[in-house]
Homo-oligomer: A and B are copies of this chain.
């Protein structure tokens, strides 16, 4: 990919993901121009000032004019209204994709909003990010060696899928494909559930009478364990609601898992407890080999 072959790219939502994508595409000379769309004028001004985008637009419809590729990088709850707003204005040749952390709700929204134009929409999800939000935190290398999952629809053309794949590969990502259902099941377990656990522990501790003393006695292990609890509450509210079909049974299972550990403690069953910890350690120790590349999130 080179020679501005992606043409005019419109990024709706110029935050950490949208901003980093824009930076990476410009750094690799893969676009003719980038238009950033955001509701906040402050974000747009900052993105222009940082050189992340070439043009700023507050109205997604206005930004559709002459777009070759549209990337929705806004919170998952905003994707339905955005797709509804732009559906009549997407140029004929234009490919639309997204960076949402849940794919089922986005695919459903796309079908409803785009109707028989849904073939232009290739759902995607870069497994990258940090707990810091906003265009100021964006950087061109965010996606290097990170996994991007595309969950193509039956209506998508192979050409369109490959164009989206090429866009992420320009940014250094490793692109894989899976079904919408598999994505939401895998990411529910691998990402959404851990976020819920981290939030729930810190939320629980913060409501204890002696929470200040508890937090004063935490160490590096606690800080690592709870880093993801510093993520955006609005973004994760939306992700959890959008993937609640997967998360409700996962939470139920975790409640049973904790109850099982509690019963082992009640019985002072050290043997079973050690076996459980050993299973976990074995799986954890294998992790760097399994994921191979250094993903951040």
Contact = CB atoms under 8 A, between A and B. Distances in A.
- Stoichiometry (number of copies): 2
Contact of A217 (B186, B259, B266, B270): B186
Q: Which of A128, A204, A207, A257 has the most CB of B within 10 A?
A: A204
Summarize A's interface: helix, strand, loop or mixed.
Answer: helix
Interface range on chain A (Cβ under 8 Å from partner): 35 or more
A1 interface: no
A154 interface: no
A285 to B, nearest CB: 6
Given A268-B244, A281-B229, A190 B262 contact: no
Given A200-B261, A237-B273, A251-B259, 19 more contacts: A127-B219, A128-B219, A186-B213, A190-B214, A190-B217, A190-B219, A194-B201, A195-B221, A197-B258, A204-B254, A207-B279, A211-B283, A215-B286, A216-B290, A222-B297, A224-B225, A226-B287, A227-B284, A232-B281
Nearest 7 Cβ contacts at the A-B interface: A219-B297, A220-B296, A233-B277, A206-B283, A219-B295, A221-B297, A202-B280
